[in-house]
Amino acid sequence: MTDIAEVLAGHATAQTFDNLAGTTVSATTDALFDSLAVALAGVDAPGVPAARQAFAPWAGGTVPVWGTSLTMPAPFAALLNAGSLHALDYDDTDDGVPLHANSVVLPVLLADVLENAPDCGGREFLTALSAGIDAAMRVGRAGGPRGSRGWNYSVVSGGMGAVLALARLRRWDVATTVSALGHQLAQTAGSLQSIIDGSLAKRFQPAMVAKDVLTGAALAEAGIDGPRNVFEGKAGFFTLYQDGSYDRDVLLDGAARASLVDDLSLKPYPSCRFTHAAIDVALRIHRDGIDPRRIARIRFLVSGQAMNMVGRAFDPATAGVVDAQFSIAYTAAVGLHRGAVLIDDFSPASIRDPEVGGFAARRVVIEPTEAVPHLAMAPVTAQLDLDDGRQVEYLGKTVSGSPEARLTAEQLKSKAADCLRHGRSQVGVDELWAAVHGLAEDEPVSRILRLLHRPVR
């Protein structure tokens, strides 16, 4: 039987802009705008400047490192740009897996455009980007999430999506595309241990994959063949990462139109997506005027996977930025006290704030409940014990930024403004919005590349 890699390769390489639904074009464009603003915010995030210095010996290529005047060869530019995009944990998610598709797909495409398609029109670019996002989501969803075992699906699925996006951009045939997918399989690995340990390596895992996609592409184009049975082989992707169990219908239903892009979520808060339902509830409590000083205890009832990912106890004395990003206790405490959860709330000074950090450590309790599906992000229940003996309960049924509760254009621009301010970017919100949304009218991608090459103030 032909491996399903050939079918996916055929869908990606045959994709056209006219074949995309208007909702898919809009979702792709919004995700692109959001991702670029988030990346420019992460230019000086912890670990990112050190990574630029670490890879400085490879400087001298032609591809811009976003938010700087530095240029690098495409694989290393993609690595550094992916690092800044993923650093703040503010990038888009597929809540059904979960994974961050654009953290790999977008840096690969924009690095490759300059070297291999400098005259690329906006519609061609959006077509390739949508094909890659959709494919990453399909591969991640096909066997049912296995994140509870420790796989990082932004890494293991994102690379496959990036290969298929690249195939569409370079107009490869199916054979070359399958070979490149095979090279990606040969390099694929991704563990959640960096999250468990609070390591900055977490933000560079998609970055390393972005580099690998481009090096694997070079091998495939040179005629060095990768494994052919990429997904269904004896040691193929689904055998290794999905225990041999997967649904071909999930992989193929709607793939010809890249329809899963419509399901992409854009984050309203710069923290792990599993914290967002609890943050939504915390902000409702704040708006209702309940003073945190009156809360003797707040207990959040969450899914088993939310407990695994973001339910650990929070210690402000030892917590780093990754610990804070992956903590319901901390992020909910921020929402309760400050009425918003923004990038600056994850600075060392903010994390050490005794009022917020102390509240998170002593008064917030996280517990799993079997009433919520194990892998679900919502619903989330908050049970408050007040100092006068009263008990109050809040229920969060949906998650802001999801397809059920999309961010408006105004909210996306407000988020981008905070990102660009935080990153000291010289790019304005309106000019970034215009450049990105002009792609659907077939304006050139080079307009965006010029914006990204402006160094920070």
42-82 residue pLDDT tens? 999 999 999 999 999 988 899 999 999 999 999 999 999 99
Q: How many residues does the chain have?
A: 457
Q: In terms of Cα–Cα distance, which of 183, 269, 173 is closest to 226?
A: 183
Per-10-residue mean pLDDT, the chain, length 457: 93 97 98 98 96 92 94 97 97 93 98 93 98 96 69 92 98 98 94 90 96 98 98 93 87 93 98 98 99 98 95 95 96 98 95 95 96 93 97 97 97 98 96 98 97 89
200/310 Cα distance (integer angstroms) = 16
Q: Would you say residue 457 lies in a domain?
A: no
Range of the domain at 387: 273-396
For the chain, the domain total comes to 2
**Which residues lie below 8 Å from residue 341, measured CB to CB, with a gap of 6+?**
269, 270, 271, 279, 283, 331, 334, 335
Q: Would you say residue 205 lies in a domain?
A: yes
| Cβ–Cβ < 8 Å for 306, 399 | no
Domain co-membership, 77 together with 177: yes
Q: Would you say residue 141 lies in a domain?
A: yes
Q: In terms of Cα–Cα distance, which of 147, 309, 366, 142 is closest to 239?
A: 142
Domain co-membership, 76 together with 202: yes
Domain co-membership, 224 together with 209: yes
234/303 Cα distance (integer angstroms) = 33
Domain co-membership, 326 together with 340: yes
pLDDT of residue 148: 53
Domain co-membership, 94 together with 111: yes
Domain co-membership, 141 together with 231: yes
Q: Tokens for 412, please give them.
A: 């996306």
CB-hemisphere CA count at 13 Å for 193? 3
Domain co-membership, 190 together with 204: yes
Q: How many other β-carbons are positioned within 10 Å of the β-carbon of residue 408?
A: 8
218-256: buried (b, 16+ CB within 10 Å) or exposed (e) per residue? Answer: ebbeeeeebbbbbbbbeebbbbbbbeeebeeebbeebbe
Q: Would you say residue 402 lies in a domain?
A: no
The CATH number of the domain holding residue 288 is 3.30.1330.120
Domain co-membership, 378 together with 443: no
pLDDT of residue 240: 86
Domain co-membership, 234 together with 307: no
Domain co-membership, 263 together with 358: no
pTM recorded for the entire structure: 0.95
Domain co-membership, 263 together with 277: no
Domain co-membership, 89 together with 228: yes
399/143 Cα distance (integer angstroms) = 24
Q: Tokens for 179, please give them.
A: 């070979």
